[in-house]
Amino acid sequence: MSDYIIEFKNFGFKYRAQAEPTLYNIDLKIKKGEKILIAGPSGCGKSTIASLINGLIPFSYKGEMTGSLLINGKESRDMSIFDISHIVGTVLQDSDAQFVGMTVAEDLAFALENDCIHQDRMKERVNEVAKILDLGDLKNHAPSELSGGQKQRVSVGGVMVSDVDLFLFDEPLANLDPKTGKQAIELIDELQKRTGAAVIIIEHRIEDVLHRPVDRVILLNEGRIVSDTTPDELLSSQNLEMCGVREPLYLSALKYAGVPIEPSIRPASLNDLVLSNEDKDKVNYFYSHVKKNKDTRENEEMLTVKNLSFT
């Protein structure tokens, strides 16, 4: 049995409807239990890699594949999408598109029903997952009645019940505000710790994803892997800027202050940042000397709400 759950070997892919390939010479290995962020600008090939890993390519989206893609040591071409679904659980960016049940409990039970799990065990497993994800009070609610963050939890639960080896999150923050996005990243982190499964997060909001640690960041651009390294190494390089991906705002502020960004200062997390006294002085000087634009709209009424109720 291979130590790697995903292995791309000199892999390329071209959609049937396109003249040029979307992916070129992809070499990528992901170990069991690893937590990986795949990032890059729009159109770089992130979603295509997601579709290859969860089997949508070639079963739903047709095209020409070159090289090799192994999932749990088996060539993906020789596996059915049903086989892959027992290894890879996918959470889509649009949670509404993933719901199939009339209630939260029905939705959580869907994968178990497909696997013909005995009803007593099914109810037990649904209750276990609902408790872990803090969905116990919502099991009889319709998915449409839930908030964005609650929908995300139900989507996670729908794949969590199956005990898969790899969780694939395709732009999980796309429809979430910053606060709820942080909660989603915390949920993914907790999920990985509880299950020990590999986690792949495909997202361009790098700063939000790094709210919790990841092992590696795979940066894509124009269908090729630009870098495969630790978050600290990536954020100390010029690769994000070269690919047109926004770096964390606190790093931009440090650069304006004249602080050199190196792996040793642990730039991947604002909470873990290590600055010398000299660097702290630079930041304080920069902050105190930045000219703040005076807000001329102080007395301008932007929004008025009166006698509003919502249930």
Buried b vs exposed e over 22-35: b needs ≥16 C-beta within 10 Å?
Answer: bbbebebebebbbb
Q: pLDDT at position 56, please?
A: 92
Q: Nearest 5°: phi and psi at 202? A: -105, 115
Overall domain count for the chain: 2
- The residue among 12, 38, 7 whose CA lies nearest residue 25 is 12
> Domain of 277?
249-289
Eight-class DSSP state of 33: T
Helix (H) or strand (E) holding 277, with range, is helix 277-289
Strands 63-71 and 4-15: antiparallel
My answer on whether 207 and 285 are in the same domain is no
282 within domain boundaries: yes
Q: Is 17 contained in some domain? A: yes
The pLDDT of residue 1: 59
Identify whether 270 is part of a domain. yes
* pLDDT at residue 236 in the model: 95
Residues 205 and 277 grouped into a single domain: no
Same-domain pairing of 63 and 170: yes
14 inside domain? yes
Looking from the CA of 113 toward its CB, the CA atoms found within 13 Å total 9
Question: For position 74, which CATH number holds?
Answer: 3.40.50.300
Are 16 and 65 part of one and the same domain?
Answer: yes
In a domain, 261, yes or no: yes
CB 55 within 8 A of CB 85: yes
What does the pLDDT read at residue 102? 83
Q: Are residues 255 and 226 part of one domain?
A: no
Task: Judge if 83 and 169 occupy the same domain.
Answer: yes
Q: What one-character DSSP code corresponds to residue 215?
A: S
Q: 7 and 80 share a domain?
A: yes
116 part of a folded domain: no
Short-list 99, 96, 77, CA closest to 159 = 99
For residue 155, give both structure tokens.
């989507």
Strand, helix or coil for residue 227? strand
Q: Give, for all 311 residues of the chain, the pLDDT tens digit.
A: 578 999 999 999 999 989 999 999 999 999 999 999 999 998 899 999 999 999 999 888 999 999 999 999 999 999 998 899 889 988 877 777 777 778 888 888 887 777 778 888 888 888 888 887 778 788 888 888 888 778 878 888 877 777 789 999 988 888 778 888 888 888 889 888 888 899 999 998 899 999 999 999 999 999 999 999 999 999 999 999 999 999 999 999 999 999 999 999 999 988 889 999 999 999 999 988 887 777 666 778 888 999 999 88
pLDDT of residue 181: 83
Q: Which residues of 128-139 are buried (b: 16+ CB within 10 A; e: fewer)?
A: ebbebbebeebb
pLDDT, position 296: 66
Asked whether residue 97 is assigned to any structural domain, the reply reads: no
Q: Residue type at 138? A: L
> 83 and 2: one domain?
yes
